[in-house]
Amino acid sequence: MADTDTPRIVVGVPKEERAGETRVALSPTALPQLTKAGFDIVIESGAGDAAGYPDSTFTDRGARIGSRDDVFAADIVVQVNVMGADAASADLARLREGLIVVGAVAPFARPELVKAVAGTGAVLYALEMVPRTTRAQSMDILSSQAAVAGYKAVLLAANELPKMFPLLTTAAGTIAPAKVFIVGAGVAGLGAIATARRLGALVEAYDVRPAAREEVQSLGARFVELPLETDQEEGSGGYATQLSDEAIKKQQELMAKTVAASDVIITTAQVQGTTAPQIITTEMIKGMGAGSVIIDLAAEQGGNCEPTVAGETVDIDGVKVIGVVNLPGQIPVHASQLFGKNVANFLCLMVVDGAIDLDVDDDVIRQSVVARGGDVVNNRVREALGLVPLPEPEPPAPAPAPDAESESPEEAAK
């Protein structure tokens, strides 16, 4: 509980500026946790409208409504897409030295945005950089939004497929279930498997990480075994690493038969910090039946399918390849609830004795900061910008070995 004599920390939530974005960075359900921790919340009027949260739902939870300038005058600004994902955003002029900005940045895809924010003197936290550890799961926006995307991808595929998903036995005959193939069994892939199974499809899934087999099978899907040496660590709960060109080519050859037999394919494979691996070629797609559907969840990172175009549907011999963009934004009520809870948990880590402490000894905070003190402070982002890397912090000195001639703790306490 914050000290009542300590000034309240003000968090501003602006209306999202990125085209097509319907989510809001904090939903009303996240506000009680923040106000209890010492935050006051100011929401730009209309910020939650597209997500189904009118201004009254925020004021009912203790927030106040203000202008965009009011929001950016806060101590912390939280956004779904920082600066509308645009390095030329007009909001850059509203940033100032010491302002804390928190949200999704895509720092490796848009390093110039990080540089632009750094140039204002603001402190920027990229929530995509939250470490994928058990402790940090409650702040992991990638996982929470991927779960929404996996669910929605299956519904989109079912809507586009000219077949039914479930086995159906009628007096007019029996309809065979649709065959769904999920490529990548991370959070999005597992969400897609569960949803496709609930709709009655026969589901197969593949992942380069051997540890994913048990999770796939636990959801009732068949794990596709490819005799392929991938060098992926067993039990690596985070991202898979980039395969070599030779391994990807071999993967494509082994997967072609499964692809051809599928009615629906949902691809989710991504590698942090680089473009998505291209797993399914145009030639493989031509082997599928007319009317089949592919939903490429990695479209914004270049796509897992050769013909994928982000935001468009491409027809390959009667097969629809849909390069989806911002699927969580199609379910903004719950996507915003999850995102807002991630943000609230993250902000609470910064508060020590009712005040913001940017130097708090916390690995989640340390690993998420990408701009501070007028500079880009993450070396991977600096590399993308062609900047000289900063010296890595020295590891803490090991504790001195006990001296045999010194007093024992028991003796010293006497």
Instruction: Give the residue extent of every domain in the chain.
Output: 9-129+332-385, 146-325
What are the pLDDT tens digits along the chain (414 aa)? 445 566 799 999 999 999 999 999 999 999 999 999 999 999 999 999 999 999 999 999 999 999 999 999 999 999 999 999 999 999 999 999 999 999 999 999 999 999 999 999 999 999 999 998 999 999 999 999 999 999 999 999 999 999 999 999 999 999 999 999 999 999 999 999 999 999 999 999 999 888 899 999 999 999 998 876 655 544 334 555 566 777 777 777 889 999 999 999 999 998 877 889 999 999 999 999 999 999 999 999 999 999 999 999 999 999 999 999 999 999 999 999 999 999 999 999 999 988 999 999 999 999 999 999 999 999 999 999 999 999 977 665 666 665 545 444 445 444
CB-facing half-sphere around the CA of 300: CA atoms within 13 A: 12
* Equal fold, 9-129+332-385 vs 146-325: yes
Third-level CATH fold of 146-325: Rossmann fold (3.40.50)
Of the candidates 91, 140, 207, 296, the residue annotated as catalytic is 140
Task: Give the three-class secondary structure for 137.
Answer: helix
Catalytic (active site) residue 137: yes
Catalytic (active site) residue 79: no
E strands, 280-329, are 293-296, 313-316, 319-323
SS (H, E, C) 215-259: HHHHCCCEECCCCCCCCCCCCCCCCCCCCCHHHHHHHHHHHHHHH
Question: What's at 95, amino acid-wise?
Answer: L
Catalytic (active site) residue 207: no
Of the candidates 33, 45, 75, 132, the residue annotated as catalytic is 132
Candidate CATH numbers 3.40.50.2000, 3.40.50.720, 3.40.50.700, 1.10.260.40; the one for domain 9-129+332-385: 3.40.50.720
Of the candidates 143, 270, 301, 368, the residue annotated as catalytic is 143
Of the candidates 70, 213, 239, 278, the residue annotated as catalytic is 239
Catalytic (active site) residue 239: yes
State the Cα–Cα distance between residues 269 and 300, nearest whole angstrom.
12
